[in-house]
Amino acid sequence: MKFAVIGKGKTGSHVIELLKQKSCHYEIFDSKNSPTAKKLKKFDVAICFVNGPVFESLIPTLIDSRISVVTGATGLDFSQELSGQIKSAGVKWIKASNFSIGMNLVHKMISDCLSKASKLFDEYSFNIHEVHHTKKLDAPSGTAIKWQDWSGEKFDITHERIGDVVGDHTITLSTKNEKISLRHEALDRSIFASGALKACELLSEVEPGLHDFEDITLNKLLN
C-alpha cells in the first residue's frame, strides 16, 4: 500500500515515523509540497491529520483523486452532503475523532452500560471533562462530543487547555448517593498514528462511502 501523508504536525509526525519503521512507501504533503489530484492518484490512501479548515479546503482535491482517505481532522462537521459526494465518487473514507484503539473499549462501555442509566436511576446527571494541549483550538473536543452521543444524553462538557497534554477525557455519572467515572488518558500520540494505520487496513472491509472508525471497530468487537 502506498501512503500519502498530509500534515506532519503532532500526530502526522508519528504516522511518518511508523511508516519509516515498517519500510512503507510514502510521500509527505504540506505547504512545501501541496497535494494535487494528479499527485495523489499515485497513492492508495491519504492519511490526513490537519485542522478542520485546512482539511475542508482539501476535500475537492481528495475526492477528485479517487483514492481512499483516513482522517483525524479536528473541528470539522462532516455533512450529509459530503457523505453523499464521497459515496457517489465510489471512494472509501474513514474518519475518527480519536484513533486510539483503546477508545473502542470506551465506546462499548458507554454505549452498552452508561447509556442505560435511565433504566436504573430516577435522578442522575452526566458530565464530561476533557483536557488537551494549549494548541488545540476546538473545544469541546470531538472525542468528548462522541462520548456524549454514545451516552444518548445531553449534558455539560467542560474543558481545559494545559501544557502539552495529549488527551484526557472523563465521563462521570452522578446520583444522590454515588458517582461513577470512566476515564481515558492518552499518554503518547503514537497511539493515534497506530490507529490510523489500522484504519488503513480496514479499508478493504468497508463499502465506498464515509465511515466512523469507532463504528467499524465496535462491530468487530461484537462479532
Alpha helices in 10-124 (DSSP H): 12-21, 37-40, 52-65, 80-88, 103-112, 117-120
What is the average pLDDT value for the chain, to the nearest integer? Answer: 93
Q: Which residues contact 88 (CB under 8 A, 6 or more apart)?
A: none
pLDDT tens track for 23-45:
999 999 998 999 999 999 999 99
Look at phi and psi of residue 22 and say left if phi exceeds 0, alpha if psi is from -120 to 50, else beta. alpha
What's CA 66's distance to the chain center, in Å?
A: 21
Q: What is the pLDDT of residue 51?
A: 87
Q: At what angle do helices 213-222 and 103-112 cross, to 10 degrees?
A: 70
Q: What is the pLDDT of residue 76?
A: 80
Write out the three cell numbers for 181: 467515572
CB 199 within 8 A of CB 94: yes
Write out the three cell numbers for 34: 501541496
Residue 1 predicted with pLDDT over 80: yes
Q: What is the pLDDT of residue 221?
A: 54
pLDDT tens track for 83-111:
999 999 999 999 998 899 898 889 989 99
The residue written with cell numbers 492518484 in the block is 41
Rounded Cα distance, 127 and 25, in Å: 44
Q: What is the pLDDT of residue 168?
A: 97
The DSSP H or E segment spanning 134 is: none
DSSP code of residue 75: S
What's CA 18's distance to the chain center, in Å?
A: 18
Domains contained in the chain, CATH given: 2-95+190-222 (3.40.50.720), 103-186 (3.30.360.10)
Q: What is the pLDDT of residue 223?
A: 59
pLDDT tens track for 116-152:
999 999 999 999 999 999 988 789 998 999 999 999 9
